[in-house]
Amino acid sequence: MERWVSDASIVPHQRNRLDACAALGVDEQMIWPAVVRSTVKTGHDREVFAVYPYRSACPQDVWGQLIAGASADVFLAGYTNYFVWLEQPAILQTLRRKAAEGCRIRFLMGDPSSETTVQRERVEDVALTVSTRIRITLEHLAKLADVTGVEARFSAPEDGPNHVGLSVFRFDHDALVTPHLARVVGHDSPMMHLRRQHDDGLFDRFAAHAEELWERGVPTF
């Protein structure tokens, strides 16, 4: 133990480190601070709360908890937002309740008739086309058209390529971000769960991207 403590270049195995700290009555950071720092997020990656290799790998209850927990802003800026209606039970009732409580609800979608949508349909080449998925979302949103606090827009034609390649779903200070891989549908693309920790971090960068698209968007109702 004396050799470990006196020579900073020697780093014993974790089990031995824990035994040494217990024997000396000190915290591991006092003896091996570099080891502790290497296992704790200290920079901008502190905002990365979780990572999923596929969007579909994120548990449905994570989405439900984020929607239910938001009090100021629910901003769904996926290109179709189609999966939300399938995976979240009673989502219409939930959104009505959130809006009544003062939460701003926004949906940003791609224009189903835009050239970007047409091109993406060629790339994906699946039976349930991009434009069909968008129109299904529009059908659901029509049921919320009378609800104050619910807004929906199409991204502007010039923003289509930027929108279709990146989905941002924001819930107050949490966000789920999906960069879309070249030839796969959204649920097969990776996703990050970000939690805001400081100014101009990952969360703010992606949130600003979605807000910029929203500002140039065209209202759907």
Say what the alpha-carbon torsion angle 70, 74, 78, 80 is, to the nearest 10 degrees.
Answer: 110
Q: Higher confidence at residue 16 or residue 86?
A: 86
pLDDT of residue 1: 76
Cα–Cα distance between 163 and 39 in angstroms, integer? 35
Question: pLDDT-derived band of residue 98, with 50, 70 and 90 as boundaries?
Answer: very high
Type of residue numbered 118: V
pLDDT of residue 13: 78
Cα–Cα distance between 188 and 55 in angstroms, integer? 6
For 140-169, the pLDDT digits (tens) are: 999 999 999 999 999 999 999 999 999 999
pTM of the shown model: 0.81
What is the chain's percent helix, strand, coil content, to nearest 5? 50, 20, 35
Beta-bridged to residue 178, according to DSSP, are 167
